[in-house]
Every structure is written in structure tokens, then in C-alpha cells.
Structure 1
Amino acid sequence: MVWSAPHIGSRPIAILGGGVLGRRIACSFVAGGFNVHIRDPSPQARSDALAYIDENKEAYTFFICPEGGGNKKKPAQYGNYTASKDMETAVKDAWLVIEAVPEKLELKIDTFGELDKYAPRDCILASNSSSFKSSLMLNKVVSSDADERKKWVCNVHYTMPPTIRTVELMTDGHTHQEIFPFLSEVLKQCGMLPATARKESTGFIFNRLWAAVKREILTILAEEVSDAAEIDALWAHMFQASILPCQLMDRVGLDTVAFIEDNYINERKLDGSLTVDWLRKNYITQGKLGLKTPEQGGLYPPSAAPAQSASPKIPPIFVLDVGHGANSPSYPSLAGTSTYGKILRFDGPNQPPKALVTGLPAPDGIDVDPSANRMYWTNMGADVTAADGSVMSATLDGTDKKVLLADGVLTTPKQLILVKDSEKGTEKLYFCDREGCSVHRCNVDGTEHEVLVQNANPGRGVSDPMHWCVGITVDLAKRKFYWTQKGPSKSNAGRILRANMDFLPGETATGRSDIEVVLNKLPEPIDLDMESETGVLYWTDRGEHPRGSSLNCARVDDEKKEVKILARHFNEPIGLKLDLERKQIFVSDLGGSVYAVDVETGKKTVVHRDEGAYTGLVTLPEA
């Protein structure tokens, strides 16, 4: 029989199970504009699932709406969603059912038996199981057209949206092949990242890779070659990862780790003596399950658990996505990316960012003023050779947008900072203009615009990157401002300079005698920040390894001005913001990552990572 896609219309997607994963699956479809019916026998689970969707559906739209147009668009409205305890009610008109019931094979077999009885004949029946092939769940699919029904069955395995958006699809051995591209398109509409296993396979694709890693780690531990902390430390350094394998096994629960591995052992006739047998003998039977049993511990001993689970305290972070990443609607083409920029707000390491302002022409520098409830930022514009850059402001929720400087005034404005000068009684925005080869300041409403440094005629510096001005910071105590001139890409010709905040009598931006070169022969310095009390200057450098792609500092009033590399191996780092009260520095890079860097140890913790391209960032101070 030739497969025809089910008619969707207002028909719902039925999600069986309103638990931690089921509610997330449901929320992703609601955000994508699909109607959803959750079935769970527990009143509390149903209530919690609906509350989760109420609170999180807006956040899920971030992934389905790369702003600026293209083929991906935010749905006209959210899908409707409801919940019930009755199976027949939930699935009777569904076009897709995804079971997310507990990982017990007999329960799943019973579930598919009920679906065979109650679901429409043109309904796709899917299992979210990561441990069992859907073909193992069909013992009670015995209707008169059971053979055809089995062709509508498959695995649709979610990991943990919205943090991890991968969804793996897999046949039951009979599935109509046309179902997979059809479901893949639906999942993409919901901001998910689908992948299809080419044939039926226990563990799909990624779980097989992950199972191999876990298996080898358990063997290393059983043979007493190393311990959990050392393995995780090596993993973190090698892969620049914040999700570490031994910590993750403790978080999931060692009993669950053993249960999943049992499936591989039984199917492949593997030797479990140095994996699950060792794990059960030394941990599980002794009640050491990981975070489920904090007093007994797990692969990490109880005394180490608090330190291992601790993470940097993260204040709200405003980050600029320049719009050139793989999350662009036109990717891999660069067409139209000049208006795909956005301002994002991050409120925690496990929460999706919220888009505050969208449709921006390559935003780069940002600062905030909580007391005025406003943020200020620069846009580089669409053409680096044209004077189409701008400075804008808005309230902290992204409303009341205002253009402060535009219309041929700036070329490619870069880092921007707000300076409240109590001595002068002023509030000024300081910023650099890269291809404009200049440093500027103006009032927070855009008035009293001044050029502080002009290295070349505006628009003529494109051919000489030695004149390009990029990052800026101010030392109010000594009334100096610092800026970077990055030089040609990866050239080791970058410089950091400084000058007085106030012009010397009779001097102008084109002929200042007070300009000092503080540091030179740097790989490619970008943004700046400063701790005025100690005279320590911090900067990002997107130059070549080993000195570039780094976070650096130097005490600028010391005679030697020795440069210290605090952290390395970023992916084109741009923005930074000091949080010295907590002894950390936040860094953003064009590779789509935001990091918290420990000032004392240089340890990098990934706060967020996706397919964006991040430029400037700033933290929101605590009230």
C-alpha cells in the first residue's frame, strides 16, 4: 500500500505520559503551532504538565523562530493543549501518538495494544523509548490489519528539550520510509534537530556512542586505572565540555545506567563482569546510586558530591547574536544575515534564552542601566564600507526602541559602555567605530556626540586594519579611556592604547598628543573591561593559537605590563564582562558559546552553547 501522510488540520498529537520528558515533548509541539492532548492517569502529572507548557511555551519558540524572515517563521499562534486520564479520549482523533510512559517493556506492549484498538488507522504510532526497539512492543498489535498497522509504527526518541533538541527516528523494521522525512519536517518546524537511523538498532545513533563511552569508563574504574574525578577532568579539558561523563552517570542514577547497559549485554552477549556486574557489586547493592542517594554518593564519594555538582552563580546575561550563525534562516547561505541579529537574555545555564529585540543589522556592543530600565547597543550595519551603523536603546524588556545615532554618522560601531561620571555629572556612552577608525562618546539620548580619536578619514580605513578601533573601557579614577586597535586578522600586530577622557587645550580627535600605546604585538585584541582599583585590564583576543583565541589580563601601570593568559581555546572570543565579586568573567564567542571563567584558576564553564554567533555581552547587576 502506498503511504499517504495523515491529514492534520485541527487533529491533535497525543503524548502518553506527562512526566519530565513527556511535558517537554508536548511543549515543543505546542510552540510549533500543533494541538496536543496529554494522557496521564495521574492528576498531579496532568496538572504539572499543563503548568509547564503555560510557563515555557514562549521559550520554546526561540528555537523555531530565527528572526529576520526566511522559511522558518514563528507560528501564527500556539497550538491548543489539554490533558486527560482516558486513553481512548486522548488518541481517538490523533494523527500522531508518542508514548513516553515508564521504561518497562510490558507496559509499552500493553500501551501499543491499546493504541491498536483506539487510534485512527492513519495515525503514526511512536515510542520515545531509548532502550527498546519499537518492534519489541508490538506483541498485542493483533487487529485484522496488524501488518499494515505495524508499518505506521516507529521510534521517535527525544533527549531533553529545550536544552538538548536532538530527536532520533528509527524504523520498527516495517515502517513506511516516507514517514521519516514527513516527521523530520514536522520536528524542524518545532525547532528540533531530527536524525534518522538507517536501520533498526538498539540505542539508535548517539546512545550507542554514549553507551560505548560509559562501558569503557566503567572498565577503567573497575580495573582501578583511574577515578571518576580524574576521568571527568581529562574529558573537560579535551573536549572543552561542561557535561562530564561520570558526573552525568551519577546524575542519571547508577541503577538506570546498569538497566540500560543490560539491554546491550543481553542483545549482543557482552561480558558485563567489568561493567554492570562490577557496578552492582560495588555501588548499586550498597545503595550508592549517585545524586539519588546523596548521603551514600555514587562514582563520586559523598564528600565530593557538593563540589562536583556546584556551578558558577549566573546573573542574568544580555548577549548579542550577530545573526551569522547556523541558526540563521538562510544557513548555509549568508543572504539576508545583515538583519538576523538579536538581543538575547539568559537567566540560567539550563534555560533557553529569550529574544528581547530581533531583526537587527549585526549588533556588536551592549551595556545596561538598571536604574533607568534601559539597555544600549551598537549595530554594525549591512555594509562595512558604508556609513550605515547605528546606536540604539530600549527598555530592558526590549520595548520602546529608540535610534540614538544613525543616518550616515557611523560605519561599524563596535563595543559600547555606559559611563556615569559623577565628577562631571554626566552619563555618556563610549564606543568604537571599526571601519570608521575612531572612538566616540555621546549622551544616553544621542545628543552631544563627540569623536574622541580619529585615526583616518571615515570610510577610508577599510583598507588599513591597523587603524581599526574595536574595544573600549574607561578608568574613571584616573580619567583615562582605553581602546583596542586589532590590526589585520591573526597578524600579531594588535595594540591597546589609552588617552585622557578630557582633551588637552587646543587639541582635537585627529591630533591628540596624549595617546599612549599600552600594549602592542598582540594577536588580535577585541573587547575590553577593567578593574580600576587594581589597574588590571582584561581583554578578549580572537587571534591565532596559542596566544590568541584567549582571555587575557595585564596590570597596565606596571613597568613590564606582563600579559597573563587566563583561559584559551575559545572559538573567536568577542565579548567579556567582569564579575569580580564572584571571581568570574563572562565571555562570549562567535562559535555560539557563553562561558563563565574562574579568575583564579582559568577554568571555563559553558553557560550556554548553541548555533548562534555571539558578539557583545553584559550582565544585569543584582538589585
Structure 2
Amino acid sequence: MVWSAPHIGSRPVAILGGGVLGRRIACSFVAGGFNVHIRDPFPQAREDAIKYIDENKEFYTSFCPNGKPAQYGTYTASEDIETTVKDAWLVIEAVPEKIELKIDTFEELDKYAPKDCILGSNSSSFRSGLMLDKVSDERKKLVCNVHYTMPPMVRTVELMTDGYTHQEIFPFLSDVLRQCGMLPATARKESTGFIFNRLWAAVKREILTILAEGVSDAAEIDALWAHMFQTSVVPCQMMDQVGLDTVAFIEDNYINERKLDGSLTVDWLRSNYITQGKLGLKTPEQGGIYPPSTVAVNPPLNPAAAAQAAAGTEKQMPPIFFLDVGLGSNSPSYPSLAGLTTNGKILRLDEPNQPPKALVTGLPLPDGIDVDPSANRMYWTNMGADVTAKDGSLMSSTLDGSDKKVLLGDGVLTTPKQLVLIKDQQTGTEKLYFCDREGCSVHRCNVDGSEHEVLVQNPGGVGDLLHWCVGITVDLKERKFYWTQKGPAKSNLGRIFRANIDFLPGETASNRSDIEVVFDKLPEPIDLEIEAETGVLYWTDRGEHPRGCSLNCARVEGEKEVRILARRFHEPIGLKLDLARKQIFVCDLGGSIYAVDVETGKKTVVHRDDGSYTGLVTLPAA
């Protein structure tokens, strides 16, 4: 019998299970323009699933081949399975990994789903052919595995027959999945573990044997793996993240099916870890393969972090607040610069390579940002839409984006740029320092916008690129502030200056005599920050290769030898030091945020999409 694809129209995709993976599967379909119904018996799971899609559907569209759809799919969540699936053209179950539960679920689906509806299982350990005990013969031809890993971080979806599935279903589903930004692959025949999971299972099995025999330890294994394959995804940390109980449960399936010896793998794992309550990230106080001190409730910057932690160099990603200037999207809804200049956003990233949360939208070219957690406030600059109108502004809001206030505006600023909040214990003041690019000036004011001062006023104006002021940092220890003047593009006339925080008697912003050139003949220096204790200055440079598009550092006294820490960014702008963990966060106009290792210069991408990023700041540890 020839199979005919179901008519989709407004019919929904039904997702059974609103948990961590189920809501991500649902979000991918919504971003691809498909309507979605979610079923979960728990109210909190339903609420969390809807909230997740609300906050992340825009991010998921960045993976879709045609960008944002004409409209997002609709999405609902309910408790009743019959209502959820009654009009569906595709159902994907993401219920717990219990074969009896899955068999009963498919019995219900056979009863309630439309006759042409495709039924998929997201199981990572069971073949869908094992779930057919209570399914009719005709329905068996519409059942298959549709196994997602963890979108959007991993976008692979593996499809596999139940032994009866119409072969035409697989190219049909593959086309749908690609429309949603996924990367489908089809197993040619039934296989426990599909394709990649079989490879991964073999790796886990051998690693557990190495650990059981005492040949090596987790940190060393992960360090070797990370170096050999030049990747941040390392196996021991991954097992802790998944949960050692889940690792053992999946391995049981291979052992039972293939008659494997589990004495040095799953038996050893249960005896030494699981029975003692050591499951990994599920039990941070007890730990897992890694000890408790290196297991965090939130995943680290990358899976290799635990290996680094065991060596005393633990690296975690703090929450990052960053600015999308709004010029990076190719969306046809922005046909002109005038439309783009109000597309700026403030975003918050809490986990690496996960969708950020939009806190403030509709901003006119935001550029510099800093936060004050103790006051629950953040501060940022907007360059404005028209330099001739002097419509730049300095703004503030709470950390969740509410209670927005304009601190400086109304023709005061031209194009304010990078910004830093300084709490000066010597004077008992809190000041915002920032540069005004086309205004050729450096400014400061109180956190409420009062006592606004111009600290440096260069000659020239909008067209005088040599005197444009961009980045700023303050050294309270030496009572100095530093700023960059990037100069014309490709000119190598960029400079870094400094002056005293306090004016000398009788001097003004236009005639001060304490201004020094610290570094010159730079490509195009932008943002900067100083480590006061060591007198080392760090800065980004968006100029031309080989010295530009780089992260740099140098001592501000003595020989002042400039060291390039990392290169090959896509026009880097903002940076933030995290030297306690020996890393620096950098964002660029190419839509990426990186963590750069201070010692090796290795760049790790913690976020990437089609945005265009300017300012960046991390939330300090509590």
C-alpha cells in the first residue's frame, strides 16, 4: 500500500511530556511555524513548558533555514491526552524511560490519534519496535523513533523504523525537521542506541572500565579527550550531567540485549556511586564521578570545566548581561536603517549555548552596560538613531528590565558608548563613567543622572574620527581613568589615554594638562578594563588582521609590551574580566560571546546567533 503524507494545515504536532526535553522539542516546532499541543499531567510542568516557549521561540528561529517564519506556530498545554492528540498529524512521546509506560502510551495513541497520524518515540534507549504490544497492525506502519538530543545546543534528530514503518515517512519527516532548524539522520535498520548513541555507549563503557581498573581518573581522561579532539564536550563530565543512574539504566539495555559483562561497567558504577547516592549533577552535595567540590547545580561554562576544576582552575559561566545593537538580523521586517535603529535589546544569558532571555527591547542602538546587583539596577547607553540630532541617552532599569528611567537625554549626548559603574569609597560616591563617540568626550554622573560632568572634551565633532572616544575603565587605586580613541578604520592610529579622576586646580575638560597617551599606533581599540592590583590593562580591538580583531593586554607602566591574548574575533567590542577563574568574556558584532582563557588564549563560544553584540557585563557572585 502506498503511503500518503498527512495533510498538515493548522493541525498540531502533539508532544507528550512538558519536561526539559519535551518543551525544547515543542519550541523547535513552534519556531518552524507549526502549531503545537503539549500534554503533561503536572500543572507546574505545563506552566514551565509554556513559559520556556514564550521566552525562547525567537532564539530557536535563528537555526531555521529561512529565518523567522511568517508567523510562529500556536502552542497550548493540557492534562488530557485525548484532547491533545485528537487532531494531530504527528505525536512525539517524551515520557519517562520506562518500557511499560511507553507501551501503554502507544496503546492510548492508537486509540485517540487520527488514523493518518505519525507516532514517534523520543526514547534514547528503547527501539520503538519494543513499544508495539498493544498497537494495531495498521498503526505499526506509522510508528518510528524520533530521537532528539538536547536542542538548541545539539540539533541532531535520529529517525529509525519500528520494523514496519513506511519508508516514505523518513524523507517526509526529515524535510519537516530541517524546516525547524534540526539536523535529521535516519538509521537504515533497527538498532538499539541508533547511530550516535552506539558510538557514545562504547566510549562510556570503555571509560568506566578504565576507572574501575584504576588506570586513570576522570579529570585526566577529560583533559586528554578535550585536547585530542579540540572540544569542550568531554565524557566523564557528560555522564555526571546526564546522571549516573540514567547512564546505568541505558547500559542495562545493551547488557541485556548483547549479553555483555557488566562487572567493570554498570555493576562497578552502582557499587561505587549509585548505591551511595552519588549521581552527579542530580546530587551536587554527594558528587558523582567528580567529587562534590567540582559538581555545580548549574552546568559549568563547558563540560571540560570539571576537569579544570579538579586541577584547581574551575571555570563557570556567571550570568551575562549583553547588548544586541540590533543591526545583525537579516529579517525582511527591517527594510531600512530607520527600522533597525530601534531593534536593540538587553539580553541575559544564564547557561552557555542556551537561549538568552530578552529583558528590554526596542532600544536605539544600545552600546555600553554595567550592573549593580546590590541596588537591583542596570545602566546602559543608547547611541540613538541620528547623530546630528544628539539623541543619545543614558538609561537605567531593574535587573529584570522593569522600571526603565532615562537618566540623561534631551540633546545632552551625541553617541554615548561604553560605560562603567564605579563605587568610590574614598569619596563615598557612585558614578557612571562613559564615553561619547561623536561628541569626542568623556563623561561621568551620579547613578540617577545628576551632577553630570564632562571630564575630557576633544576638539572636532561628528566627522573627526581621530578624536572619537569609545571605551573607558577606571583605576581607583591610582586615581586614574583610561579611555580609547579608535581613530579611522584601517589607519593604525588608535590610541589609549589616561587622566586623573580629579581635575587639577583651574583646569577644565577642554584644557586639562594631565592627559597622557599610554599606547598608540593601535588598529582600532574599543572597550577596556584594568586589573588595578597588577596594573595590567586589557582591551578589545576591532581593527584589521593581523593585530586587529583581537583581545590584548599590557602593563601600563614599565616596558608596556602589548600581548595579543586571542585573535580572529568578528569585530570584538565588549569585554569583562573574570580573572578569579582565569578567563575573560568578549562579545563581537558577529553575534558571538566568548570565554577566553587568560593563559592559553583559547576561545570557547558560550553563545552564538545572528545578533550583533556591543556591551557586555557579568553578574558578580553573591
Which TM-score tier does this pair reach, normalised by the shorter chain? 0.7 to 0.9
1:116 to 110, 114, 119: 110
Q: Structure 1 431/235 Cα, relative in aligned 2: closer, same or farther at 3 Å? A: farther
Question: Which residue type is aligned with residue 368 of structure 1?
Answer: V
> What is the deviation of 1:518?
1.0
Deviation per CA, 1:436-456, whole angstroms, max 9, x where unpaired? 443233444445554433445
> What is the deviation of 1:483?
0.7
Map of 2:266 onto structure 1 = 284
Deviation per CA, 1:139-186, whole angstroms, max 9, x where unpaired? 87545xx3xx6775555432224654555667851328666555665x
SS in 1 for 2:341: helix
Deviation per CA, 1:232-270, whole angstroms, max 9, x where unpaired? 43664687743324532564455577579899x99xxxx
Q: Do the aligned residues in 2 keep the contact of 1:319 with 1:617 (CA within 8 Å)?
A: yes
> What is the deviation of 1:294?
8.1
Question: Which residue type is aligned with residue 419 of structure 2?
Answer: L
Deviating more after overlay: 356-365 vs 208-217: 208-217
Q: Report the Cα distance in structure 2 between the residues aligned to 1:495 and 1:221, rounded to whole angstroms.
A: 55
> What is the deviation of 1:202?
6.9
User: 2:46 aligned with 1:50, yes or no?
Assistant: yes
Q: Do the aligned residues in 2 keep the contact of 1:451 with 1:509 (CA within 8 Å)?
A: yes
Q: Do the aligned residues in 2 keep the contact of 1:249 with 1:290 (CA within 8 Å)?
A: no
Cα RMSD after superposing both structures: 5.0
Map of 2:382 onto structure 1 = 379
Map of 1:243 onto structure 2 = 233
> What is the deviation of 1:551?
3.9
Q: Do the aligned residues in 2 keep the contact of 1:61 with 1:74 (CA within 8 Å)?
A: no
Map of 1:272 onto structure 2 = none
User: 2:162 aligned with 1:159, yes or no?
Assistant: no
> What is the deviation of 1:473?
0.9
2:182 to 178, 194, 198: 194
Q: TM-score, normalised by structure 1?
A: 0.73
Q: Do the aligned residues in 1 keep the contact of 2:416 with 2:437 (CA within 8 Å)?
A: yes
Question: Which residue type is aligned with residue 5 of structure 1?
Answer: H
Q: Do the aligned residues in 1 keep the contact of 2:86 with 2:114 (CA within 8 Å)?
A: yes
> What is the deviation of 1:358?
0.8
Map of 2:367 onto structure 1 = 364
Uncovered stretches (5+) of structure 2, i.e. residues with no partner: 281-286, 295-305
Map of 2:536 onto structure 1 = 536
Map of 2:77 onto structure 1 = 81
Q: Structure 1 503/57 Cα, relative in aligned 2: closer, same or farther at 3 Å? A: same
Q: Superposed, which structure 2 residues align to 1:51-66 within 5 Å?
A: 52-53=48-49, 56-61=52-57, 63=59
Q: Report the Cα distance in structure 2 between the residues aligned to 1:290 and 1:482, rounded to whole angstroms.
A: 55
Q: Structure 1 111/50 Cα, relative in aligned 2: closer, same or farther at 3 Å? A: closer
Tell me the matched-pair count: 582
Q: Do the aligned residues in 1 keep the contact of 2:378 with 2:396 (CA within 8 Å)?
A: yes
Q: Do the aligned residues in 2 keep the contact of 1:486 with 1:495 (CA within 8 Å)?
A: yes
Map of 2:436 onto structure 1 = 433
Deviating more after overlay: 414-423 vs 447-456: 447-456
Deviation per CA, 1:303-354, whole angstroms, max 9, x where unpaired? 778553655355443211223446x645999874433321112344486432
SS in 1 for 2:110: helix
Map of 2:525 onto structure 1 = 525
Q: Do the aligned residues in 2 keep the contact of 1:392 with 1:402 (CA within 8 Å)?
A: yes
Deviation per CA, 1:404-460, whole angstroms, max 9, x where unpaired? 444555444321112345666654432223344432334444455544334452211
Q: Structure 1 467/75 Cα, relative in aligned 2: closer, same or farther at 3 Å? A: same
Q: Superposed, which structure 2 residues align to 1:27-426 within 5 Å?
A: 36-38=37-39, 46=42, 49-50=45-46, 52-53=48-49, 56-61=52-57, 63=59, 79-84=75-80, 91-101=85-95, 111-112=105-106, 114-130=108-124, 142=136, 146=138, 153=143, 155-161=145-151, 163-164=153-154, 167=157, 172=165, 173-175=167-169, 181=175, 188=180, 193-197=181-185, 208=195, 229=219, 232-233=222-223, 236=226, 241-249=231-239, 251-252=241-242, 255=248, 282-287=264-269, 307=294, 308=306, 310=309, 311-325=314-328, 329-330=331-332, 336-349=339-352, 352-382=355-385, 387-406=390-409, 409-421=412-424
Q: Report the Cα distance in structure 2 between the residues aligned to 1:555 and 1:62, rounded to whole angstroms.
A: 43
Q: Structure 1 219/34 Cα, relative in aligned 2: closer, same or farther at 3 Å? A: same
SS in 1 for 2:397: strand
Question: Which residue type is aligned with residue 573 of structure 2?
Answer: I
Q: Report the Cα distance in structure 2 between the residues aligned to 1:487 and 1:355, rounded to whole angstroms.
A: 33
Question: Which residue type is aligned with residue 615 of structure 1?
Answer: T
Question: Which residue type is aligned with residue 617 of structure 2?
Answer: V
SS in 2 for 1:287: helix
Q: Do the aligned residues in 1 keep the contact of 2:15 with 2:36 (CA within 8 Å)?
A: no
Q: Do the aligned residues in 1 keep the contact of 2:440 with 2:468 (CA within 8 Å)?
A: yes
Q: Report the Cα distance in structure 2 between the residues aligned to 1:610 and 1:460, rounded to whole angstroms.
A: 32
Q: Report the Cα distance in structure 2 between the residues aligned to 1:130 and 1:297, rounded to whole angstroms.
A: 19
Q: Report the Cα distance in structure 2 between the residues aligned to 1:234 and 1:132, rounded to whole angstroms.
A: 32
Q: Report the Cα distance in structure 2 between the residues aligned to 1:242 and 1:290, rounded to whole angstroms.
A: 27
SS in 1 for 2:462: coil
Uncovered stretches (5+) of structure 1, i.e. residues with no partner: 41-45, 267-275
Q: Do the aligned residues in 2 keep the contact of 1:151 with 1:175 (CA within 8 Å)?
A: no
Map of 2:496 onto structure 1 = 496
Map of 1:43 onto structure 2 = none
Percent identity of equivalent pairs: 62
Q: Report the Cα distance in structure 2 between the residues aligned to 1:468 and 1:293, rounded to whole angstroms.
A: 64
User: 2:16 aligned with 1:16, yes or no?
Assistant: yes
Q: Report the Cα distance in structure 2 between the residues aligned to 1:7 and 1:237, rounded to whole angstroms.
A: 49
Map of 2:485 onto structure 1 = 485
Q: Do the aligned residues in 1 keep the contact of 2:159 with 2:170 (CA within 8 Å)?
A: no
Map of 2:587 onto structure 1 = 588
Question: Which residue type is aligned with residue 7 of structure 2?
Answer: A
Q: Do the aligned residues in 1 keep the contact of 2:158 with 2:186 (CA within 8 Å)?
A: no
Q: Do the aligned residues in 2 keep the contact of 1:387 with 1:459 (CA within 8 Å)?
A: no
> What is the deviation of 1:552?
3.7
Deviation per CA, 1:192-211, whole angstroms, max 9, x where unpaired? x323448857799x985676
SS in 2 for 1:469: coil
Q: Do the aligned residues in 2 keep the contact of 1:289 with 1:297 (CA within 8 Å)?
A: no
Q: Report the Cα distance in structure 1 between the residues aligned to 2:394 and 2:357, rounded to whole angstroms.
A: 22
Q: Report the Cα distance in structure 1 between the residues aligned to 2:532 and 2:23, rounded to whole angstroms.
A: 48
Q: Do the aligned residues in 1 keep the contact of 2:158 with 2:187 (CA within 8 Å)?
A: no
